[in-house]
């Protein structure tokens, strides 16, 4: 059965965490909204979102369709794909720890989003610029160090010492960590100066993921939407600040 | 093996979603911080949080310890407990959908928290009162209707029509939905006027959970921490407003 990914066009957003899992493992998938033809395109996604009769209705994109099963929520999709694509440990305990890391990354992603939209997602950034400046300062000075201090500790304590977050092999949590670090570099280039010195193991995960042949090829391809100011990671000069590291 | 729950004392917070799963099923558990004796109390939690050598380090409370396994993140804990306590469907597909609902509830919980702390978790409410007023207005007028419109649809479309979110039996997602509705009534009594009329199926889940004998007994017991203004759901008169329903 084909894996069909539904996500908004024109931005990486949360859909990108799912794309990275497919791309890293060279798993065929259909990026429904970005492809043309019957049963594809924006209309297909909107008809799913508006379908009042769906039993497994998703709350919001991204969601995945596999046959007639619909799976919503990024971390849930990755958990489903993990064992199927070889991106999660083999035993339940390892999979649970991997999922916990993913949920912590998801919390950070929400905080990054809210740094430019602290009052309301539905309003423009320009309508909440002053509040965004305050929240971004807190994100950069306190929250980013807290999250990456944690991930650095997890990497340090992993007994297999292969450089990945869990066990001795790549998991979807490593792919997501790469994406968050790449996104923060785009959004806050000044603040992220010194990141690699402060969190060397996290920086190594970023570089190792970027160097995976399948990911390196993907990042050069037109399938990788460039970072831009409609996504989660946005570069507004007014929100960037001196590096806390 | 005993289930040991680690969570901050004095507030329901995210730990409450886990407590409800234990209480609804009359499953024995140790609420580590709230009990006295060797290996219990606040010191035990702090020593876990400060242990630099833990492989499965949790990012933050709540976390669960089962033997030597540590499970972090509320939704992850509930997913682990679900099949073990009979609070999730039997097949993988049902469990995935239940987990997706829980993650959507978790998103709402974060938004409710941020309605009184839109700028920084580490600062007092009084330092972000003006921003909180704006974010609460958006929460009440737009986000609460969006989330509960979704849950109402899920309840409507559940083919077994037993009143629960998934299949024909209680799951941890129903317990969490109860908790969020109860919390919103505490935080925003004016705004929640008319909730039961606007979202009758959601209100029915709330009432049905509250009426479960084990939950009814729990809610009357000293084990249930009362809602208060140190938790996720806080009642500040300045943030409540006219009902949008």
Looking at residue A17, which CATH number applies to its domain?
A: 3.40.30.10
A244 within some domain: no
Q: Which residues of A touch B165 (CB under 8 A)?
A: none
pLDDT in tens, A27-79: 999 999 999 999 999 999 999 999 989 999 999 999 999 999 999 999 999 99
Residue B94 has pLDDT above 90, yes or no: yes
Domain CATH code at residue A205: 1.20.1050.10
CB contact under 8 Å between B119 and A135, yes or no, is yes
pLDDT average, residue stretch B63-68: 98
Residue A170 CB neighbour total at 10 angstroms = 23
Query: Where are the extended beta strands (E) located within chain A?
Result: 3-6, 30-31, 63-66, 69-72
- Indicate whether A104 and A80 sit together in one domain: no
A234 within some domain: yes
- Indicate whether A67 and A147 sit together in one domain: no
User: Which among A75, A104, A138 has the least Cβ separation from residue B59?
Assistant: A104
pLDDT grade for A1, boundaries at 50, 70 and 90: confident
Number of domains in chain A: 2
Q: Which residues of B touch A72 (CB under 8 A)?
A: 100, 103-104
**Nearest-angstrom CA–CA distance, A136 and A113:** 10
A245 within some domain: no
B245 within some domain: no
The two tokens of residue A120 are 């309301």
User: Which among A76, A103, A142 has the least Cβ separation from residue B100?
Assistant: A76
**Nearest-angstrom CA–CA distance, A188 and A134:** 14
pLDDT in tens, B176-202: 999 999 999 999 999 999 999 999 999
Distance from CA of B71 to the nearest CA of A (A): 7
> Average model confidence (pLDDT) for chain B?
97
Estimate the share of chain A in helix, then strand, then coil, as percent rounded to the nearest 5.
Answer: 55, 5, 40
B244 within some domain: no
A109 within some domain: yes
Mark A77-114 as b/e (b = at least 16 C-beta within 10 Å). bbbbbbeebebbbeeeebbbbbbbbbbbbbbbbbbbbb
pLDDT in tens, A65-118: 999 999 999 999 999 999 999 999 889 999 999 999 999 999 999 999 999 999
B59 within some domain: yes
Q: With contact defined as beta carbons under 8 Å apart, do A238 and A133 qualify?
A: yes
Closest CA to B109 of B147, B78, B80, B76: B147
- Indicate whether A113 and A146 sit together in one domain: yes
On the CB side of A159, CA atoms within 13 Å amount to: 6
- Indicate whether A115 and A138 sit together in one domain: yes
Residue range(s) defining the domain that contains residue A49? 3-85
CB contact under 8 Å between B135 and A118, yes or no, is yes
pLDDT value at residue B90 = 87
Q: Which of B85, B109, B125 is the last residue of a domain?
A: B85
Q: Which residues of A touch B56 (CB under 8 A)?
A: 97, 100
pLDDT average, residue stretch A215-223: 98
Closest CA to A158 of A217, A202, A216: A202
User: Which among A80, A96, A131 has the least Cβ separation from residue B131?
Assistant: A131
- Indicate whether A118 and A170 sit together in one domain: yes
Residue of B nearest to A159 (CA): B55
In angstroms, what CA-CA distances link A194 with A39, A155, A242, B81?
Answer: 47, 19, 10, 41
B29 within some domain: yes
pLDDT grade for B172, boundaries at 50, 70 and 90: very high
Q: Which residues of A touch B111 (CB under 8 A)?
A: none
> Average model confidence (pLDDT) for chain A?
97
Q: Which residues of B touch A134 (CB under 8 A)?
A: 119-120, 131
Element at B63 (helix H, strand E): strand B63-66
- Indicate whether A67 and A108 sit together in one domain: no
- Indicate whether A157 and A187 sit together in one domain: yes
Closest CA to B148 of B200, B185, B111, B75: B200
- Indicate whether A107 and A66 sit together in one domain: no
Distance from CA of B113 to the nearest CA of A (A): 12
Q: Which of B85, B118, B140 is the last residue of a domain?
A: B85
In angstroms, what CA-CA distances link B171 with A218, B12, B79, B177?
Answer: 40, 20, 10, 10
Closest CA to A185 of A204, A200, A170, A206: A206
Residue B139 has pLDDT above 90, yes or no: yes
**Nearest-angstrom CA–CA distance, A191 and A245:** 8
- Indicate whether B106 and B147 sit together in one domain: yes
Q: Which of A85, A118, A138 is the last residue of a domain?
A: A85
- Indicate whether A64 and A115 sit together in one domain: no
pLDDT value at residue A5 = 98
- Indicate whether B43 and B69 sit together in one domain: yes
pLDDT value at residue B211 = 98
pLDDT value at residue A71 = 98
Distance from CA of A100 to the nearest CA of B (A): 6
pLDDT value at residue B1 = 81
**Nearest-angstrom CA–CA distance, A221 and A31:** 14
- Indicate whether A184 and A110 sit together in one domain: yes
């Amino acid at each position: 059965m084909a894996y069909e990914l539904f996500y908004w066009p024109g931005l990486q957003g949360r859909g990108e965490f799912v794309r990275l899992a497919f791309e890293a493992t060279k798993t065929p998938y259909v990026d429904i909204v970005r492809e043309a033809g019957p049963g594809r395109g924006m209309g297909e996604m909107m008809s799913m979102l508006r379908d009042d009769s769906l039993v497994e209705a998703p709350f919001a994109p991204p969601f995945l369709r596999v046959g007639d099963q619909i799976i919503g929520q990024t971390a849930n999709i990755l958990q489903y794909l993990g064992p199927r694509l070889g991106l999660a440990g083999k035993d339940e305990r390892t999979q649970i720890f991997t999922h916990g890391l993913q949920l912590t990354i998801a919390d950070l992603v929400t905080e990054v989003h809210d740094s430019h939209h602290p009052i309301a997602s539905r309003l423009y950034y320009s309508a909440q610029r002053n509040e965004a400046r305050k929240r971004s300062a807190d994100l950069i000075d306190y929250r980013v160090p807290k999250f990456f201090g944690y991930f650095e500790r997890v990497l340090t304590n992993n007994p297999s010492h292969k450089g990945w977050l869990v066990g001795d092999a790549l998991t979807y949590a490593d792919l997501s960590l790469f994406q968050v670090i790449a996104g923060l570099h785009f959004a806050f280039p000044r603040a992220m100066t010194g990141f690699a010195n402060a969190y060397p193991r996290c920086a190594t995960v970023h570089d190792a993921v970027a160097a995976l042949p399948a990911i390196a090829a993907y990042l050069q391809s037109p399938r990788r939407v460039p970072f831009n100011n409609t996504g989660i990671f946005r570069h507004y000069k007014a929100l960037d600040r001196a590096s806390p590291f």
